[in-house]
Amino acid sequence: MGKGCLTATKYFLFLFNLIFFLCGAVIMGFGLWLLLDNQSFIVVLNNLTTVKVACYILIGVGAFSMLMGFLGCLGAIYEIRCLLGLYFTCLLVILIAQITAGALIYFQKDVLHEETSKIVAKVLDNYTGNNSTTEQTWDFIQRNMECCGWTGRADWKDNAIVINSSMQLFPCSCQNVSVATGNFSDSGFCEAETPVYDVGCADSVERWILTNIGVVLGICLGVAVIELLGMILSICLCKNIHTEDYTKVPKY
């Protein structure tokens, strides 16, 4: 490889690693958002271990990707073969992990759907209207998605407060505000005479989940392409560095 090609490869690798670093930051930020956001459906799934594990995996992969991007930048600019070799190996491990995780998510989607239904049923049965974080989130979902229950309003029939009221109370967030009159409450229970939504939230929530999974998969696909390019460039650069000049590396 000529000197001009070597220089071009080095700076292309630096550029790809910079993009890789930024993509890692996006993945880590998305994982933190899913873990910390208290105004989305993810709060309802707080007790689902799979979801928490997925959030921590996203954060870990993002942080690790940022570290690899940093090491790749150093290895490319200062032409350090050991860093380039470490960078190639780590990229290969990350790529294999991403493919494995994607396959697991795809083949476990039915299990995830079943577990989600169980978690939501538990939330509905234990709903008291005391404005806990989970209850506020479910009220937010019902109010904004204009739905009631998971598959329909009948899902509330096992709630203790609804049973004790002889089915005369329903969550206020189930109120159909487009046809109801008077003052509206955003949480707690209201009289069942007030029109409520008949449609359940399952379809709307599943669309929300699929949309966000699409975003994650899109980001991961972009990162995978960058990883492959980074692996190709790093191995080419590594093979064509015959001597290493460590005096170019800054000393701190």
pLDDT above 50 for 249: no
**Mean pLDDT score across all residues of the chain:** 77
Phi, psi for residue 221 in degrees, rounded to 5: -65, -45
To 10 degrees, what angle do helices 3-36 and 202-239 make? 150
pTM given for the model: 0.55
User: Closest by alpha carbon to 172, among 201, 206, 136, 202?
Assistant: 136
CA R_g for the chain = 26
End-to-end CA distance of the chain: 33
What percentage of the chain reaches a pLDDT higher than 90?
A: 0
Vertex 182 angle, CA 180 and 184, to 5°: 80
pLDDT at residue 82 in the model:
80
- Ramachandran category for residue 131: left, alpha or beta (phi over 0 → left; psi -120 to 50 → alpha): left
Tell me what the mean pLDDT of segment 226-236 comes to: 79
pLDDT at residue 2 in the model:
57
pLDDT above 50 for 252: no
The predicted-structure confidence for 6-62, as pLDDT tens digits, reads as follows: 777 778 878 878 887 887 888 888 888 877 765 555 656 655 566 677 778 888 888
Structure tokens at 126: 């234990």
Residues counted in the chain: 252
